[in-house]
Structure 1
Amino acid sequence: MTHTYDSTPIVAIATAPGRGGIGVVRISGKDLSAITQNLFRDIVLKPRHATYLDFKQADGTVIDQGLVIAFKAPHSYTGEEVLELQGHGGPVVMQMLLSRCLEAGREHGLRLAEPGEFTQRAFMNDKLDLAQAEAVADLIEASTEAAAKSASQSMSGAFSKVIHALVEKVVHLRMLVEATLDFPEEEIDFLEKSDARGQLSDIQKALRAVFEQAAQGALLREGLNVVLAGQPNVGKSSLLNALAGDDIAIVTPIAGTTRDKVTETIHIEGIPLNIIDTAGIRHDHDEDGVNDRLANRIDAVERIGIERTWAEVQKADVILHLLDASRGPTRADEEIAARFPAEIPVICVWTKIDISGHHPSVDNVGDLTQIYLSAQEHLGMDLLRQELLRIAGWQQTGESLYLARERHLIALKHAHEHLEQAAEYAAQNDQSLDLFAEELRLTQDRLNSITGEFTSDDLLGVIFSRFCIGK
């Protein structure tokens, strides 16, 4: 599929905002000779060699001293001609250098780069495929060592290589099917002679393996949103602090201390977990349903906090329903549990076992998992961590993972669905070979969308707009 892009030269500060020892301004375009001449006069730059010089204003005033490196196409990050100006990393100096570049290139169409535009040009010029390009952003944003390693694997082309291997198998089977369709006079049992069903089964097995690894990698990238929900004073903030290993949330015996959500990201075996502590959920009545004008009065601020708690519950990947083991289950606990969305996994966490006398344990009652722990005494915390990993589907396989994105998983799911449909047509012998071939074509398209060989320009715009400027 052919993609188009604005090929005018672009420039941006390529290093992070703020002060640093070194800052980089990057320029990319099809022909930078005139811009280079305006910037550096008669200095000859040797490709891929660092040249130390003065960065000057148009009137000869020195802005900074540093290095400039010229890259000739196609031997550059973007596949175009590239200039990298490396100076001292002060924000004022970088802005002055950026302004000078724009001034020197104004007549030649030089403009500020959009977010991700350098990497987009690398993709357009076949320096990277789309999965590799996305891995560049994932490597920059990696929050754990495991995520960084997986992003590096994908950036080097490991994920793309596996996808290409799958596509080749699909193409080979398509070729056999369509050749049979072209020569219907050949009275052969195509499905038997070519072992089409066996080939299809092998492709399905390989696709499942790729999906499992990609799903594990997606966990490293996205993490898991874990919402702590329950009545006031059941230990939500204490549990957040225990998981985070720090006093993140204020803990008091006063009901309604937590008025708004408190979010902290922790890591368990390299998996980021976004732990969200919420306002305690209670009603304007006591256990007997009678209005209590003193103990259970809810003010307007706390009511808003409770509404936000339910909003967070709806967005959760996992709900930890906290209950006080020292007082046992209450009707209010049952009312809270009844409102949880049916499709979201729930773990019942019985807290304060240091008071109740329970021992740390995990109990499975039907589909419900219950954990007994004490956040204050750090009893049973490892049981909770392992249960969270189990629900997340995390498995230490020892294999390299691909830091997959949601769109990759969706594409793999759709490819699997088309293969399932193809298998149904294969079961009808040679009567539905045309439909069999069509499902294989759709499978191929879904897989190709991962690497960008079959991707709309609109989707490309969305993907690269989420990159940082200068990359």
Structure 2
Amino acid sequence: MLSNDTDPIAAIATAPGRGGIGVVRLSFGRAGEAAAQKAMHALCGQALAPRHASYVPFIDGNGEALDRGIALYFPAPHSYTGEHVLELQGHGGPIVLQLVLQRAIAVGRDFGLRFAEPGEFTRRAFLNDKLDLAQAEAVVDLIEASTEAAARSAGRSLDGPFSREIHVLVEDVINLRMFVEATLDFPEEEIDFLDAADARGKLARIRERLNAVFADARQGALLREGLSVVLAGQPNVGKSSLLNALAGAELAIVTSIAGTTRDKVAQTIQVEGIPLHIIDTAGLRETQDEVERIGIERTWGEIQRADVVLHLLDARAGATPEDQVIAARFPQGVPVVRVMNKTDLAGAPGALREGEGGAREVNLSAKTGEGIALLRDELLKIAGWQAGAESVYLARERHLIALREARGHLALAAEHADQQSQVLDLFAEELRLAQDDLNAITGEFTSDDLLGVIFSRFCIGK
């Protein structure tokens, strides 16, 4: 544990600005109970009963009240940080909260109390085994959740089911490693280990469980980050109209003049709780207009970063040579949905079908709304969304990377197991690497540098 991870710390724990209630939190670290008692007498004028709400004045250096409110004392280890903690809950004015905080710092100067850094209270909770790293990340995810589904999933992650799934996987891998390494210690035993210990079966069951966890985590990451959907195509095919139809509001200017949209227009909508970041872009064509040209360059930049590209075409004309040139420039690996717009003018119904080359194609009318629901369903399908998946955890990209790495090592372990000449040392090594990847999710195998990055993204006071 780093020395500064045991310093006494204090911060305003509520959001900046005015509010009905504001909280100043102190965690006493290595200074311990004696410092907590001193702070209580200096700030509240009395000792506080543990875990009991007391209505007291918050007093300054002259004994006068700065504010009045609720004081709560949580002795270690039964607190959020696992240390002795004092919380002062007063009125939520920024000036009065600053006065109380400055008074607390002055009181704690002789035992080293300092201002807390972003995320430092939750970092203490992690370091003192009150939360694992995945649960600690769920704290900030819960605060930042932009949809109801994301908030519920963050709450589930904070309760620990994601961590428990990871711990079960780790235990299974450890048990299998134990058999393998025991066999390596006794090479003279002429036993087909893989058959005798059902190692292949155990490994297959671990991989199956890991795949299920990855599927839930991928959906949880989608809830957290959302899907970037770029509308692309020639001018006047109805990109801005489709943005307005998906958003249910007149966000983009719609005219019959080609080149009306010269820069991107972005809007986030929710479909089944998933944030869809819809980006309307400039029409793609050859132009001498400098402003429009810059807009087109930015369009291609957005397409390169997209999770999904909606390639809009005019249903009356179908795919023109210009459309084929545009489609040829789309980046490899990015899902593309061909959207045949203006079906109301072409006399065609809304429909979803498989187009040329296996690409998905949606017939719709952004003007009348026919076929819009089909497009929403197709975007959910691309996102891997499963209706009613209440077990989803709000995962992060680093979790997905770790799970992918673990899956890769287990796949290599399976390959070694299937070789005629069993290479048990390589089998054991792949299991060890998979275990390290899984442990990185909960923080049992995590560098201090990674911890610094993660907790620096928290707000101060949390």
Normalising to structure 1: TM-score of the pair?
0.93
Q: 1:425 to 1:341 in 2, by over 3 A?
A: same
- Give 1:336-355 correspondences, 5 Å limit: 336-355=326-345
- Indicate the SS of the match to 2:129: coil
**1:33 maps to 2:37:** yes
The answer for the alignment partner of 1:371 in structure 2 is 362
Asked whether the 8 Å contact 1:264–1:276 carries over to 2, the reply is: yes
Q: Which amino acid aligns with 2:26?
A: I
Of 346, 352, 371, the residue aligned with 1:362 is 352
**Unaligned 5+ runs, structure 1:** 285-296
Q: Per-residue deviation at 1:54? A: 1.6
The answer for the alignment partner of 1:318 in structure 2 is 308
The answer for the alignment partner of 1:157 in structure 2 is 160
C-alpha deviations, 1:362-389, integer Å up to 9, x for none?
A: 1212321111111121111001000101
The answer for the alignment partner of 2:224 in structure 1 is 221
The answer for the alignment partner of 1:59 in structure 2 is 62
Of 133, 136, 147, the residue aligned with 1:133 is 136
Most deviating of 313-322 and 133-142:
133-142
The answer for the alignment partner of 2:16 in structure 1 is 17
The answer for the alignment partner of 2:392 in structure 1 is 401
**Distance of 1:180 and 1:330 partners within structure 2:** 66
- Indicate the SS of the match to 1:60: coil
**Distance of 1:409 and 1:468 partners within structure 2:** 24
Asked whether the 8 Å contact 1:221–1:405 carries over to 2, the reply is: yes
Of 167, 181, 188, the residue aligned with 2:191 is 188
Q: Which amino acid aligns with 2:134?
A: A
Q: 1:417 to 1:397 in 2, by over 3 A?
A: farther
Of 407, 416, 434, the residue aligned with 1:416 is 407
Most deviating of 160-169 and 58-67:
58-67
The answer for the alignment partner of 2:78 in structure 1 is 75
The answer for the alignment partner of 1:382 in structure 2 is 373
- Give 1:296-335 correspondences, 5 Å limit: 297-298=288-289, 300-335=290-325
Q: Per-residue deviation at 1:430? A: 6.4
Of 196, 202, 213, the residue aligned with 1:199 is 202
**Distance of 1:323 and 1:93 partners within structure 2:** 59
Q: How many residues align?
A: 456
The answer for the alignment partner of 2:269 in structure 1 is 266
Q: Which amino acid aligns with 1:198?
A: G
Q: Which amino acid aligns with 2:263?
A: D
**Distance of 1:339 and 1:190 partners within structure 2:** 53
Q: Which amino acid aligns with 1:328?
A: G
Q: 1:429 to 1:193 in 2, by over 3 A?
A: farther
The answer for the alignment partner of 2:118 in structure 1 is 115
Asked whether the 8 Å contact 1:142–1:148 carries over to 2, the reply is: yes
Q: Per-residue deviation at 1:59? A: 2.4
**Distance of 2:318 and 2:411 partners within structure 1:** 49
- Give 1:164-183 correspondences, 5 Å limit: 164-183=167-186
**Distance of 1:425 and 1:4 partners within structure 2:** 45
Asked whether the 8 Å contact 1:191–1:430 carries over to 2, the reply is: no
- Indicate the SS of the match to 2:393: coil
The answer for the alignment partner of 1:99 in structure 2 is 102
Asked whether the 8 Å contact 2:37–2:47 carries over to 1, the reply is: no
- Indicate the SS of the match to 2:5: coil
**Distance of 1:451 and 1:223 partners within structure 2:** 23
The answer for the alignment partner of 1:468 in structure 2 is 459
Q: Per-residue deviation at 1:429? A: 5.4
Q: Which amino acid aligns with 1:386?
A: D
**Distance of 2:14 and 2:130 partners within structure 1:** 21
**Distance of 2:144 and 2:296 partners within structure 1:** 32
Q: Per-residue deviation at 1:397? A: 5.6
- Indicate the SS of the match to 1:264: strand
Asked whether the 8 Å contact 2:25–2:88 carries over to 1, the reply is: yes
Q: Per-residue deviation at 1:106? A: 2.5
- Indicate the SS of the match to 1:247: coil
Asked whether the 8 Å contact 1:49–1:70 carries over to 2, the reply is: yes
**Unaligned 5+ runs, structure 2:** none
Give the ranges of 4+ consecutive aligned residues of structure 1 lying more than 6 Å apart after TM superposition: none
Q: Which amino acid aligns with 2:254?
A: V
Q: Per-residue deviation at 1:99? A: 2.1
Asked whether the 8 Å contact 2:5–2:124 carries over to 1, the reply is: no
C-alpha deviations, 1:98-156, integer Å up to 9, x for none?
A: 22222222332222211111111000000001111111111111122221121111111
Asked whether the 8 Å contact 1:223–1:272 carries over to 2, the reply is: yes
Q: Per-residue deviation at 1:4? A: 6.7
Q: 1:179 to 1:4 in 2, by over 3 A?
A: farther
**Distance of 2:55 and 2:238 partners within structure 1:** 61
